Amino acid sequence: MPSASSATNLSCGRAFRSRHEALAYGFSAPAFLLLCVTVIAPIVVVVAMSLTDYRLGRTTFQWIGLGNYATMLSSPYFWQALRNSAVYTAFVVPLSVFLGLFVAILIHHRTKSRRFYEIVYFLPVASTLTAMSIVWSYVLNGRIGPLANVMASIGLPRLDFFSDDNLALIGLAIVGIWRLVGYNVVLFLAGLTMIPEEVQDAASLDGIDTFWDRLRYMIWPLLAPTTVLVFVLNCIQAFQVFDTVAVLTNGGPRGTTNMLLYEINTQSFGSLKIGYGSALTVLYLILIGAFSIVQVALSDRKARP
């Protein structure tokens, strides 16, 4: 039989834990409420609106179930926007990741000029993308742009990226790569800083001296968690492209640069089809969630011995 003092201590311990838990819930309640108001509640509203035929400005609506999703799956504009987003992502992400890693390796061991290069490469990330898009519209212009003038001077045809059906998506991809490389450089530099100097010295003693050998046998395996993070973040940002489309092409010419996020904006606020735009948004959230799940799964796999 437990003594009276033991029972008293046990009850005091339970009371302390209860007060501790209540205090923890009290401190976390504001953050949880903010999460509910700013994230969870809007998602619930979007899912609910996707099941209606609501149009912006109306005072009434009807529940139509999965009608918007059926319309979406049968719409050629949706499939074109999804295909453009997938092609843009497949083109931008690998190049921006490998270029970011390459640049980060080149400037990692610099002492005096490293800070300068970090600032230069991070400027596109810190700058306003809308303003930079206007600059790029001049650079890639087929009549007055410097690139077209250089090509004409050496006898090559002028390329007007944002007016040509076959080049417009490539032009947007160039802008996307330019912006993401600086972002990736900063992340990879942080990852390179975590590689111990002893490992690099041991690699040199084992005969791994060339740049490509060090990249293949030492840097790349040790940067695997950082690479997974960078890759997934780049995929998410590539699928979120909107500013450059709105400023440079408006989805044209002939829909060749119409992206999923731009299609959501067009249907929701251009055509005022809030219900249909909400269905597109639900699909977009599913894709972004899938990228996040892949990142967590791969990161967890890399973290296991």
Helices (H), the chain: 4-35, 41-49, 67-73, 76-108, 114-126, 129-139, 146-153, 168-193, 197-205, 211-214, 220-222, 224-239, 243-244, 260-265, 274-303
For residue 164, what pLDDT band results from cuts at 50, 70 and 90?
confident
Which of the pair, 302 or 217, is modelled with greater confidence? 217
pTM over 0.85: no
Lowest mean pLDDT among 50-54, 100-104, 214-218, 227-231: 214-218
Residue partners of 140: CB distance under 8 A and separation at least 6? 147, 148, 159, 160, 161, 162, 171, 174
Q: If we measure between CA atoms, which residue out of 270, 232, 243 comes closest to residue 172?
A: 243
Confidence of residue 303 (pLDDT cuts 50, 70, 90): very low
Mean pLDDT of 164-171: 87
CB contact at 8 A, 300 and 229: no
Categorize the per-residue pLDDT at 147 as very low, low, confident or very high, splitting at 50, 70 and 90: confident
Please tell me the predicted confidence (pLDDT) of residue 14.
61
pLDDT tens figures, 81-140: 999 999 999 999 999 999 988 888 888 777 777 778 777 777 777 777 778 888 888 888
pLDDT, one tens digit per residue, over 252-289 is 888 888 999 999 999 988 888 899 999 999 999 898 88
User: 272: phi > 0 → left, psi -120 to 50 → alpha, else beta; which?
Assistant: left
- Per domain, the residue ranges of the chain are 1-49, 67-303
Query: Could you give the CA distance from residue 279 to residue 50 in angstroms, rounded to a whole number?
Result: 5
The answer on pLDDT for 305 being more than 50 is: no
Q: Assign 12 a pLDDT band (cuts: 50, 70, 90).
A: low
- Percent of the chain surpassing pLDDT 70: 84
Mean pLDDT, the chain, rounded, equals 81
**What pLDDT, in 10s, does the model give residues 230-239?**
888 898 888 8
The predicted-structure confidence for 65-93, as pLDDT tens digits, reads as follows 899 999 999 999 999 999 999 999 999 99
CATH superfamily of 67-303: MetI-like (1.10.3720.10)
